[in-house]
Chain A
Amino acid sequence: MINKIVQSMAEAMEGIKDGSTVLIGGFGSVGQPDALIEGLIEQGAKDLTCVANNAGTGHVGLARLMELGRVRKIICSFPRSAGSVVFEELYKAGKLELEIVPQGTLAERMRAAGAGIPAFYTATGAGTLLARGKEAREFDGRDYILEKSLPADVALIEAWEADRWGNLIYKDSGRNFNPVMAMAATLTIAQVQNIGELGTLDPEKIVTPGVYVNRVLRVDRGAPWA
């Protein structure tokens, strides 16, 4: 019997190694796996490369992980936001590497990783500072740059409902980066609010098939906080 549902945070976090690349889902706090990030803080892995749209706010979650000196590098599209104080301090002090990636390129690099595509050409960023060091090529009179896929060791994601196969249904705009991150990681861990019996999730509504999911932890998160 396939059963991806784990009973404890310790079980969910088991085996995450130092030096891992960790994808963190969510857009703002919507779809963000808050409990799993806390679990990773507890678990202790360090020297991490974290991939998220934003670089954390306040002193909780990703910001807390960075503040504890556990993050070597952050890959994101929009590090600066109201309350991204930890990021700004660490970055200014030279204690954090930053790779800025256009939001669509970030999503597509992960999709490519999940789809077995090592690199792709895109017009996004062509001719800009973010094209530096990247192969440029013209197709039909338009300039493109080569972007590499972004595979990861671990993905921490959030969904609304799961079953024991790891099939996932999301809620409203909570979907965002979660499905594409689930595809791109070797170990995908999902935090969900509800668990249904196998066969009760409507196949037409399952966005992430369990094929992409390794572990599911039920957490009563409630509504996003902002």
Chain B
Amino acid sequence: MQPFSRSQMAARAASDIPEGWVVNLGIGMPTAIADHVPLDREVIFQSENGVIGMGPAPDKAHENPWLINAGKAMVTLRPGGSYVHHSDSFAMIRGGHIDLCVLGGFEVAENGDLANWATSENDSAPAVGGAMDLGAGAKRLWVIMDHTTKDGRPKLVDQCGYPLTALGTVNRVYTNLGVFDVVKGTGFVVRDLAPGVTLEYAQSQSAAKLHTT
């Protein structure tokens, strides 16, 4: 069995992003997806802080401390890129102009609910950032995350236990075990499994039914 590495998960997600899409990538694992989209495939990466048409991280000679992404790392602007202010940036997000958002997750439920911002109702100081805006506003929402927690608890569940970020909007999940579509009325549908990972094994690591069609 060869579960996908983080880099393979990111590459797998990147391979499903077609030219022309406007894409927002969440902080953490989702950010790595951009590295796997070849520059000649024109995908417009949008960052919440008002950068449209983000390019890769600069080399030392081209660092610009005024140009950062939502994770506050220095980035570049591609030819054709532009800047907007925060309210316009989120109008773009909330108004349904983003083709795809990819976020990390604590849990995804079979009805498409996502939990990724707080670990309990009494979380000492939860930090939501733009996740709720993106979760509700993007045309498509994909989640990229490990299939289980570090201590082995499933993250694909029949119902989220953690506080919700967005309700019923996740379309697809990329994990180290495979790729799973979230289909309305059905639930998780297996689209792809990592080399050597059987359906039985993936099912044993999930707390929701995995369907094949």
- Please give the residue numbers on chain A whose beta carbons come within 8 Å of chain B beta carbons, in ascending order: 27-28, 30, 77-81, 87-88, 91-92, 98, 100-105, 107-108, 110-111, 122-130, 143, 170-180, 207, 223-226
Q: Which residues from 118 to 137 on chain B have a C-beta closer than 8 Å to any C-beta of chain A?
A: 118, 121, 124-133, 136-137
Contact B127 A79 (CB under 8 A): yes
Bound form: Cα–Cα A78–B132 in Å: 12
What 13 additional pairs, Cβ within 8 angstroms, besides A105-B133, A223-B66, A225-B65?
A27-B86, A88-B124, A88-B125, A98-B125, A102-B128, A103-B90, A108-B90, A124-B94, A127-B167, A129-B121, A173-B67, A173-B68, A179-B87
CB-nearest residue of chain B to A98: B125
Contact B137 A172 (CB under 8 A): no
Q: On chain B, which size bracket covers the interface?
A: 35 or more
A-B contact pairs, 30 of them (CB 8 A): A30-B49, A77-B128, A78-B129, A80-B127, A102-B130, A102-B132, A104-B130, A104-B132, A104-B133, A104-B137, A122-B136, A123-B94, A124-B94, A124-B137, A125-B136, A126-B167, A127-B164, A129-B118, A130-B128, A173-B49, A173-B66, A175-B83, A176-B49, A176-B50, A176-B86, A177-B85, A223-B65, A224-B65, A224-B68, A226-B72
Contact B133 A80 (CB under 8 A): no
Query: Taking the nearest CB of chain B, how far is it from the CB of A225, in angstroms?
Result: 8
Query: Taking the nearest CB of chain A, how far is it from the CB of B155, in angstroms?
Result: 19
Secondary structure class of chain B's binding surface, majority of residues: loop
Bound form: Cα–Cα A27–B94 in Å: 19
* Interface-central residue, A79, A88, A127, A176, by most chain B CB under 10 Å: A176
B48 at the interface (CB under 8 A from A): yes
Given contacts A79-B125, A172-B64, A173-B68, contact A103 B87 (CB under 8 A): no
Q: What are the 8 tightest A-B residue pairs by CB atom distance, in nearest-first order?
A: A104-B90, A104-B133, A172-B66, A103-B130, A102-B132, A28-B72, A107-B86, A179-B85
Bound form: Cα–Cα A126–B164 in Å: 10
Query: Taking the nearest CB of chain A, how far is it from the CB of B68, in angstroms?
Result: 5
Contact B137 A123 (CB under 8 A): yes
Bound form: Cα–Cα A78–B130 in Å: 9
Bound form: Cα–Cα A78–B27 in Å: 12
Bound form: Cα–Cα A225–B89 in Å: 24
Q: Which residues from 16 to 66 on chain B have a C-beta closer than 8 Å to any C-beta of chain A?
A: 47-51, 64-66
Q: Which residues from 69 to 118 on chain B have a C-beta closer than 8 Å to any C-beta of chain A?
A: 72, 77, 83-87, 89-91, 93-94, 118
Bound form: Cα–Cα A27–B130 in Å: 13
Bound form: Cα–Cα A9–B68 in Å: 29
* Interface-central residue, A91, A124, A173, A176, by most chain B CB under 10 Å: A173
Q: Which residues from A are CB-within-8-Å of B136? A: 122-126
Q: Which residues from B are CB-within-8-Å of A78? A: 127-129
Query: Taking the nearest CB of chain B, how far is it from the CB of A127, in angstroms?
Result: 4
Bound form: Cα–Cα A172–B126 in Å: 29
Bound form: Cα–Cα A28–B133 in Å: 19
Contact A91 B125 (CB under 8 A): yes
Q: Which residues from B are CB-within-8-Å of A207? A: 85
Contact A107 B128 (CB under 8 A): no
Contact B68 A28 (CB under 8 A): yes
Contact B85 A178 (CB under 8 A): yes
CB-nearest residue of chain A to B169: A123
Query: Taking the nearest CB of chain B, how far is it from the CB of A73, in angstroms?
Result: 13
Bound form: Cα–Cα A98–B118 in Å: 15
Q: Which residues from A are CB-within-8-Å of B121? A: 129
B176 at the interface (CB under 8 A from A): no
Bound form: Cα–Cα A100–B86 in Å: 17
Contact B87 A173 (CB under 8 A): no
B163 at the interface (CB under 8 A from A): yes
Bound form: Cα–Cα A79–B64 in Å: 25
